[in-house]
Amino acid sequence: MPKTLSKVRIFADRDTACRSLAADLARQIASINEQGRNAVLGLATGNTPLPFYKELVRLHREEDLSFARVTTFNLDEYLGLTRDHPESYWSFMHDKLFDHIDIPAGNVHIPSGQPEDIESHCADYEQAIRDAGGIDFQLLGIGRTGHIGFNEPGSPRESRTRRIELDPVTRQDAAPAFDGLENVPTHAITMGCGTILEARRIGLLAFGQKKASIVREAIEGPITAEVSASFLQDHPDAAFYLDREAAGEL
- The residues binding ligand GLP (CB under 6 A) are 44-48, 75-76, 141-143, 149-150, 170
Question: From the CB of 188, what's the least distance to ligand GLP, in Å?
Answer: 7
Q: Give the nearer residue to ligand GLP in terms of CB position, either 32 or 174.
A: 174
Cβ pair 184, 2 in contact under 8 A? no
The Cα–Cα gap between 87 and 79 comes to 11
Question: From the CB of 186, what's the least distance to ligand GLP, in Å?
Answer: 14
Cβ pair 182, 218 in contact under 8 A? no
Q: Give the nearer residue to ligand GLP in terms of CB position, either 82 or 172.
A: 172
Question: From the CB of 104, what's the least distance to ligand GLP, in Å?
Answer: 24
The Cα–Cα gap between 240 and 233 comes to 10
Q: Give the nearer residue to ligand GLP in terms of CB position, either 26 or 148.
A: 148
Q: What is the dihedral of CA 164, 94, 144, 186, to 10 degrees?
A: -30
Phi, psi (rounded to 5 degrees) for 180: 125, 145
Q: Give the nearer residue to ligand GLP in terms of CB position, either 69 or 157.
A: 157
Question: From the CB of 33, what's the least distance to ligand GLP, in Å?
Answer: 27
The Cα–Cα gap between 67 and 38 comes to 9
